[in-house]
């Protein structure tokens, strides 16, 4: 599968699951919308990732890395609350972010080698 398609799937997962988490929360906070914001940015710049611009591929790798690392604290919180639905949401976002991170990084390395 192509890196831009996986990044697109990851963006949609971050947006949809992030909104779901915000709406389902008993006491929603602005920080719950961070995955939505990062997913929106990934979605907005997906066409440039498709064109394999080094600058935008790098930007997508950084945003995806931020999303991936930022999801560990919500995972710890969901585990401590024994909230299986929250664990499912966060693990799904972590999994898609990790897969997108691997594919985007591999694509960036190949593009950099060819330049």
Q: Cα–Cα distance between 64 and 19 in angstroms, integer?
A: 18
| pLDDT at residue 86, rounded to an integer | 94
Residue span of the structural domain in which 75 resides: 3-114
Pick from 107, 2, 115: which is nearest to 56 by CA? 107
Q: Cα–Cα distance between 41 and 60 in angstroms, integer?
A: 9
End-to-end alpha carbon distance in the chain: 22
pTM across the whole model:
0.94
pLDDT at 108 over 90: yes
Mean pLDDT taken over the chain: 95
How many structural domains comprise the chain? 1
Q: How many residues does the chain have?
A: 115
Q: Cα–Cα distance between 45 and 82 in angstroms, integer?
A: 36
The tens digit of pLDDT for each residue in 82-96 reads: 999 999 999 999 999
């Amino acid at each position: 599968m192509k890196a831009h398609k996986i990044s697109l799937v990851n963006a949609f997962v971050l947006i949809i699951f992030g909104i779901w988490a915000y709406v389902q929360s008993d006491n929603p906070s602005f920080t719950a919308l961070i995955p939505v914001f990062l997913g929106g940015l990934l979605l907005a710049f997906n066409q440039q990732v498709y064109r394999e611009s080094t600058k935008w591929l790098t930007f997508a790798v950084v945003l995806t890395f931020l999303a991936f690392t930022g999801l560990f604290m919500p995972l710890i919180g969901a585990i401590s609350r024994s909230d299986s639905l929250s664990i499912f949401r966060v693990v799904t976002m972590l999994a898609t972010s990790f897969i997108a991170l691997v594919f985007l990084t591999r694509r960036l390395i190949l593009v950099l080698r060819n330049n």
